[in-house]
Chain A
């Protein structure tokens, strides 16, 4: 119940941000909301299914470039259509990649996903005639709910309609994920994570459950990725690089993978911490590396873990 209250409180606060906060911080909320969608999905895979993907940036890339391709090469400007196509493409790619990956766990799963991620990254980088190479592609301003905002100054568009649109997407994504993890499916996933042998003996198809979690997480990542493009108006291959995948896992760990709202907290903390560190010194990686090391060594439960400690079982070798 407290979790629901906290979520509702956070949602109310998010609604008020454009009205009360400076434009700068409202703009910072945009990548936060996009990454929060990505992380909600990734946490289903990492926190609930126990699989560490080191290539999830692949699906962010799929989503972000879907937006760029559609607005550049076709007449499609509607963000709803872009999100749907991004989700469908992300899910399709994940269905294929996942079918190959879910036979493996732990480090081999991580390595396979990393390799697939790098395949996509090198494709984006090297086939520059289609993808723009390392300069990336432009994302034209999408229409929202059929309304064309092209006359509006960019900042007004971003802190106004686009902000609330992102927030709505995040809210829907959160509610859907809440239902997923509370469903029998979510419970089965945790069984598969904690004791795959027993799950198999109980008649749960372990590989099938992992595959489903992988596809769902990829759909989330693609939707989040598609939301990342319009604020900057540009997408480039670094979105799909392996260090980006590492940062995603970092964000999850920062928030705490053992709780539902950990990904939201992690994305928020990461984006705003990065901003405040970068405003003081350029070497944000040094500070973040130190933070990550400290979390891994001292607080594997992440920020949320500081409130309720995960049991030793969840942290130690699975």
Chain B
């Protein structure tokens, strides 16, 4: 019985971690190149969630087979990622030379705007995709019943993590990203078009966030506050893992996701308190995080 509970708790934690990783990865890649801590990544997550609900509802309404709901879900999540391109070209590109205080505040402005844009589009009532969560049934894992959908999301997230690792390490675009993150002026001097790199990187970061939001939606309802709530969790993830590090985002997401799941079942009052205390400890003892560079 005990192992069953433990497995169940751990798996729900890992599921949450899988989604958190996607959003945090988006935060990291943008911080790496743009050096902007993007508070709006939580809003992109919320946008992806709502877009996912709408797409799936439309799909089912048009008579699509419930088993295939994941196709419109992922498509919608990725498609609204293009908002990132609009935001980058329309707003962020004006502040790259400014103090980071102003950059942070601009992303806060985007948080405010996105929250109301979502309310205007989808209303204030929570939206969910009723009954699709268990469309793939449940799997038995050491006696614990785990929704197969959760396993799919976890697998997808790991695959995306590997994909990003490959992108950064092996492709030309990845090398350019790393060069730009390391030394922007040198990269520009060597002929890298930073305008294009920034636009692409920000769109990539946004798409990761919107995809994360879309994927979480069969398991929970979309609410207009979900963005501002998630950003502080994603913030904890990147601080624990180390700002700008992909590996850090992966490990940080696991730490936050699993700890949260454990705390909720053991001592609910401590749920987020524990996370923030860890964040503070990490910031004080190792401000570069577990996988960040030494320069902090």
A108 within 8 A of B: yes
Q: Which of B107-115, B141-149, B203-211 contacts A (4 or more CB under 8 A)?
A: B107-115
Given the interface pairs A296-B106, A297-B91, A317-B99, the reply to whether A107 lies near B37 with Cβ below 8 Å is yes
B287 within 8 A of A: yes
A289 within 8 A of B: yes
Minimum distance in angstroms from B276 CB to a CB of chain A:
5
Residue among B108, B270, B280 making CB contact with A246, cutoff 8 Å? B108
Contact B228 A289 (CB under 8 A): no
Minimum distance in angstroms from A196 CB to a CB of chain B:
15
Report the separation of the CA atoms of residues A317 and B39 in the bound assembly, to the nearest whole angstrom: 20
B159 within 8 A of A: no
Contact A293 B91 (CB under 8 A): yes
Contact B276 A285 (CB under 8 A): no
Report the separation of the CA atoms of residues A246 and B119 in the bound assembly, to the nearest whole angstrom: 20
A49 within 8 A of B: no
Minimum distance in angstroms from B169 CB to a CB of chain A:
26
Contact A292 B108 (CB under 8 A): yes
Contact A111 B283 (CB under 8 A): yes
Q: Which residues of A contact B268 (CB under 8 A)?
A: 126
Contact with B along A219-256 (1 / 0, CB 8 A): 00000000000000000000001110010011001000
A100 within 8 A of B: yes
- B residues at A contact (CB < 8 Å): 37, 39, 91, 94-95, 97-102, 104-106, 108-117, 119-120, 228, 232, 235-236, 239, 268-273, 276-277, 279-280, 283-284, 287, 296
- A residues at B contact (CB < 8 Å): 46, 52, 54, 100, 104, 106-108, 110-112, 114-116, 118-119, 122-123, 126-127, 241-243, 246, 249-250, 253, 282-286, 288-290, 292-293, 296-297, 300, 315-318
22 pairs of residues in contact across A and B, judged by CB atoms under 8 Å? A104-B287, A110-B101, A115-B236, A115-B276, A118-B232, A118-B276, A126-B269, A127-B269, A243-B111, A243-B228, A246-B111, A283-B116, A283-B119, A285-B115, A289-B112, A292-B108, A292-B112, A293-B109, A296-B105, A296-B109, A316-B98, A317-B97
